[in-house]
Chain A
Amino acid sequence: MTKIESWGRLSTPAHTLVTLSSVTNAPDIIANTRGPSLPYGNGRSYGDSCLNPSGTLWETRALDRLISFSSESGLLTCEPGVLLADIQRLLIPRGWTLPVTPGTQLITVGGAIANDVHGKNHHRHGSFCDHVTTLELARTDGKRLTCSKEHNTDWFAATAGGLGLTGVILSATIQLKTACGPWLTTESIPYHSLDEFFFLSDESESEWEHTVSWIDCTSQRGVRGIFMRGNPSPRRDIPEERPQKLSLPFIPPMSLVNRFSLPLFNSIYFHQQSKRTGIQIQHYKPFFYPLDSIKHWNRAYGRRGFYQYQSVVPRKHREDATAEMLNEIKRSGQGSMLAVLKTFGARQPPGLMSFPMEGVTLALDFPNRNTTTLKLFERLDAIIRAAHGRIYPAKDARMPRELFELGYPNLQKFQNFRDPGISSSLSRRLTGS
């Protein structure tokens, strides 16, 4: 048994680890594992969707071979343990990029599909599985399925955002997008109210591929934040710098993010960023993956770990629900520097259990202060419930079952595609099995 923690480090349950290292024998290993098991990629899910206490985790990281790539069509086929970072590093210099990428590139392709991850360009390109053309699924009964938008479409829709519960992905084909290089033209604009944020978001959607904003969840003088937008830049004449590698080599006894440090950090960050407004040329790594340069940044929250609360509310309620949530958070004095507010576009999601919907998503880290933090989440849940929103399972470790059922109306249908040999801490908590 090996102790495994998820990215939020809330618990370190023991697991039996089984390494899958060859797609040839992986289906047999999967079929012959006894007891509830779960595919496990790079362990970057925040809550308990990647945990299976006392059960088995099939580690997929060693299934990390590229299978084929066509520089004419941009179709990449690879095994599920390949990191998004590998794809970006290898293919951006050859003129191709992942069309959708989340805030970290240190996740596996399998994990990106299982959570149907989204990025800063949702309004333009949807979520990750919108660009997955085919995937191969192995089930614990020994069956193998090739799923795409033409074949086994229902299986495809269940596996996209299916939290690894429909089987183990053995390979995936992704339609990459042409890239003109590693640089982006970016612009940062400070905003001082939610209206201003929504105005900037709406206005930017037609001209800018990427939009996102950092929001100060502690500001006592109304809402403030930094709106960031970016477009691919054709510049090729800038030398790439070697990125600095920082690391948090130990776990501090208490959270470095607390009620004293947080307003200070946020204020410094806001004022620093407000001075750097205007158009800049930025490398894709700091723009898309600012935290990837600090190894083990999740240790900053101390021994007790942290929660991330990421929700989305429909467009109709975006102003009032967001304002209410920010008020609750501000009143509680909790939260962290890592607070993101971003709009999602109107797109049909590719998966039954996909998280994005047209509206606005708010994501915040909270150092774990036990009941105090959980009580705050209950108040935030009430706002989400009233606004008909939903919470992102990839980040969740505590949402009530009833809110999950309300937020994901396709849940019953999804359950039919579950693999009975697979379950996670999250699936047992939210679906009973």
Chain B
Amino acid sequence: MKHIVIVGATSAMAEHCARIWAEREDCLFSLIARDQDRCTRIQKDLETRNPNTQCRLHQVNFIDPAAISELITRVSAIPVDIALIAHGTLPDQQACEEDLSLCEHTLTINGTSPVMFAEAFAKQMAPLDHGHIALIGSVAGDRGRKSNYVYGAAKGLVTRYAQGLQHRFAKSGVRVTLVKPGPTKTPMTQAMPNADSFADVREVAQQILKAIDSRRETAYVPIKWALIMMIIRHLPRTVFNRMNI
């Protein structure tokens, strides 16, 4: 039975990934989340979709390195096949500019925290030479933009980290996938303008799984963002600075 650990299991993207996995085969899920009530509902949903599904629920302080290390060691007692690190918050950029503690929290929860989790998994997977770490980054991490550069900086950190981890495991059995979703319609983004034109979370989840299945190193989902971000990354500063993005 495949052992899949999901960090941030109540995120809409992670939940939809879990559904696809559960419908596809019998899995053991270790679900790590803050909101246990919500996590229990996800557990019931997964077990109803596939009665052979097993779920274990875990709570942890997402910014405490010792707690993360302890939990991931414990969870990895059963070797982990896939670790999906999907937690995060999307604060208002302006609020980050005004409130340094919010700025710090944004950097920690979207940047340092996923890195700590990935590092904890890497430590467990390396000796076994087995496992797949999937990190949810963001197109926001590709180039700093005034509309969300604090969040973007945290995601940029994850991008660079994933690159290093991929380099480290290049010749081993451990795989690392960095998924960079474009704007997706989830409860996290519902307050944003144009939220209605965002990608459907069900489609995004399907493509995340595809990226993991095909062992891709980096995957933009939907794929059109690979092109859009390539253009944005290469725009000369004079043009870029005139854009309101």
Interface residues of A (CB under 8 A from B): 2, 17, 19, 21-24, 62, 65-69, 71, 90
Interface residues of B (CB under 8 A from A): 12, 23, 37-38, 41-42, 44-45, 48-49, 51, 187, 190, 195-196
Residues of A within 8 A of B41 (CB): 22-23, 65, 67
Do B48 and A69 have beta carbons less than 8 Å apart?
yes
A65 to B23, CA, bound (A): 14
Contacting A71 at CB < 8 Å: which of B51, B187, B195?
Answer: B51
Residues of A within 8 A of B44 (CB): 65-68
A65 to B44, CA, bound (A): 8
A66 to B53, CA, bound (A): 14
Residues of B within 8 A of A2 (CB): 195-196
Extra contacts besides A2-B196, A17-B195, A19-B190 (13): CB < 8 Å: A2-B195, A19-B187, A21-B12, A21-B187, A22-B38, A24-B37, A62-B12, A65-B42, A66-B48, A67-B45, A67-B48, A69-B48, A71-B51
Evaluate whether A65 and B187 lie within 8 angstroms (CB atoms) in the complex, with A21-B12, A24-B37, A90-B23 already known: no
**Minimal Cβ-Cβ distance residue in A for B197:** A2
**Minimal Cβ-Cβ distance residue in A for B50:** A90
- List 30 A-B pairs, Cβ < 8 Å: A2-B195, A2-B196, A17-B190, A17-B195, A17-B196, A19-B187, A19-B190, A21-B12, A21-B187, A22-B38, A22-B41, A24-B37, A24-B38, A62-B12, A62-B187, A65-B41, A65-B42, A65-B45, A66-B44, A66-B45, A66-B48, A66-B49, A67-B44, A67-B45, A67-B48, A68-B44, A68-B48, A69-B48, A90-B23, A90-B49
Interface centre among B42, B44, B51, B195 (most CB of A within 10 A): B44
B98 to chain A, nearest CB (A): 26
Residues of B within 8 A of A22 (CB): 38, 41
Closest 6 CB pairs of A and B: A66-B48, A65-B45, A21-B187, A2-B196, A19-B190, A66-B45
A386 to chain B, nearest CB (A): 44
Residues of A within 8 A of B48 (CB): 66-69
Residues of A within 8 A of B45 (CB): 65-67
A22 to chain B, nearest CB (A): 6
A378 to B44, CA, bound (A): 51
**Minimal Cβ-Cβ distance residue in A for B188:** A21
Residues of B within 8 A of A66 (CB): 44-45, 48-49
B40 to chain A, nearest CB (A): 11
A69 to chain B, nearest CB (A): 5
B242 to chain A, nearest CB (A): 28
Residues of B within 8 A of A19 (CB): 187, 190
B16 to chain A, nearest CB (A): 10
A311 to chain B, nearest CB (A): 34
**Minimal Cβ-Cβ distance residue in B for A94:** B51
A138 to B8, CA, bound (A): 29
A170 to B48, CA, bound (A): 18
A64 to chain B, nearest CB (A): 8
Residues of A within 8 A of B37 (CB): 24
A62 to B41, CA, bound (A): 13
Residues of A within 8 A of B190 (CB): 17, 19
**Minimal Cβ-Cβ distance residue in A for B201:** A62
A17 to B12, CA, bound (A): 18
Residues of B within 8 A of A62 (CB): 12, 187
Residues of A within 8 A of B42 (CB): 65
Residues of B within 8 A of A24 (CB): 37-38
Residues of A within 8 A of B195 (CB): 2, 17
A69 to B49, CA, bound (A): 9
A68 to B41, CA, bound (A): 10
A244 to B237, CA, bound (A): 46
Residues of B within 8 A of A17 (CB): 190, 195-196
A66 to B12, CA, bound (A): 15
Residues of A within 8 A of B12 (CB): 21, 62
**Minimal Cβ-Cβ distance residue in B for A64:** B45
